[in-house]
């Protein structure tokens, strides 16, 4: 009858190897996810209510570092422009170079190149803007609005300035991919923007990175738990034979 090899502490060698491997792989996934995430993403805190209900005041968001050339309609972007006060702001892109953005149509909706856009984040029954406007976006620029249209200081407040309220794509530093706190997950791109020429952008690798970090934690905990579980539920060591010395039994 073969005896299963055991380590010094009584655990099976195979189990010890697998638990060590689980911890090693878990560390790679956990640390790798954090490192890649730190390179690709920048955390921001939303300072105002101009993007409610999509982004609440004080929300912690993860914004992917992107080139402004990669931004499309429907994206929520982080940008900084001297004509807007040279401060970091967060708004939604509703128009790109060459678009004519108008509000509002007979149903109170925003139109882009004559096509009405449904915006599910706006209050039902209310117009897409409290003021009527029409702007043609210069090539290489973006027209930006807040989701809270009645308080947001956005492109509508800069219509008389150079660019007709738009900002250069180069002003964009990042694109918001997910809301970390309160946990709302990945931001969805509005379907109405997806139907326009050029479509919408795809979310960055925030989900795979999250899966890697969580999976790494699980593997690390599982590998570390093997030893205590093996001792608790594994076969008990046989009691050592009592040493006898004459008629005296020592334990």
Catalytic residue among 19, 72, 91, 192: 91
Chain mean position to CA 132: 34
Reading the block at residue 79, the tokens are 């940008």
**How far apart are alpha carbons 55 and 147 in whole angstroms?**
9
Catalytic residue among 19, 50, 129, 152: 50
Reading the block at residue 221, the tokens are 């905990």
Three-class secondary structure of residue 201 per DSSP: coil
Please confirm, yes or no, whether 250 is among the known catalytic residues.
no
Reading the block at residue 162, the tokens are 């150079």
Please confirm, yes or no, whether 245 is among the known catalytic residues.
no
Q: What is the CA radius of gyration of the chain?
A: 29
Q: Name the H helices within the chain.
A: 13-40, 191-194, 206-233
**How far apart are alpha carbons 223 and 216 in whole angstroms?**
11
**How far apart are alpha carbons 153 and 5 in whole angstroms?**
71
Tens of pLDDT along the chain (251 residues)? 444 455 554 456 777 778 788 888 888 888 888 888 889 999 999 999 999 999 999 999 999 999 999 999 999 999 999 889 889 999 999 999 999 999 999 999 999 999 999 999 999 889 999 999 999 999 999 999 999 998 999 999 999 998 899 999 999 999 999 999 888 889 988 899 999 999 999 888 988 888 888 888 888 888 777 767 666 666 665 555 444 444 443 44
């Amino acid at each position: 009858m073969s005896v299963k090899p055991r380590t010094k502490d009584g655990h099976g060698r195979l189990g010890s190897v697998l638990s060590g491997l689980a911890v090693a792989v878990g560390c790679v996934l956990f640390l790798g996810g954090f490192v890649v995430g730190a390179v690709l993403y920048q955390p921001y805190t939303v300072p105002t209510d101009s993007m409610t209900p999509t982004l609440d005041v004080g929300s912690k968001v993860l914004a992917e570092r992107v080139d402004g050339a990669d931004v499309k309609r429907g994206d929520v972007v982080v940008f900084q422009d001297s004509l807007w006060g040279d401060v970091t702001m967060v708004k939604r892109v509703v128009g790109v170079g060459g678009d004519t953005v108008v509000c509002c149509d007979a149903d109170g909706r925003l139109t882009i190149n004559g096509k009405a856009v449904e915006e599910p984040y706006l209050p039902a029954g209310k117009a897409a803007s409290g003021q009527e406007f029409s702007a043609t976006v210069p090539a290489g620029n973006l027209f930006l609005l807040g989701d809270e249209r009645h308080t947001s200081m956005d492109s509508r407040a800069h219509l008389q300035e150079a660019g007709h309220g738009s900002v250069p794509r180069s002003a964009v530093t990042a694109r918001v991919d997910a809301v970390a706190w309160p946990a709302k997950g990945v931001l969805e791109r509005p379907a109405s923007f997806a139907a326009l020429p050029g479509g919408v952008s795809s979310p960055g690798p925030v989900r795979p990175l999250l899966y890697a970090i969580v999976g790494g934690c699980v593997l690390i905990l599982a590998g570390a738990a093997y030893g205590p579980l093996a001792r608790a539920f594994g076969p008990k060591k046989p009691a050592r034979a009592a040493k006898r010395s004459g008629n005296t039994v020592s334990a």
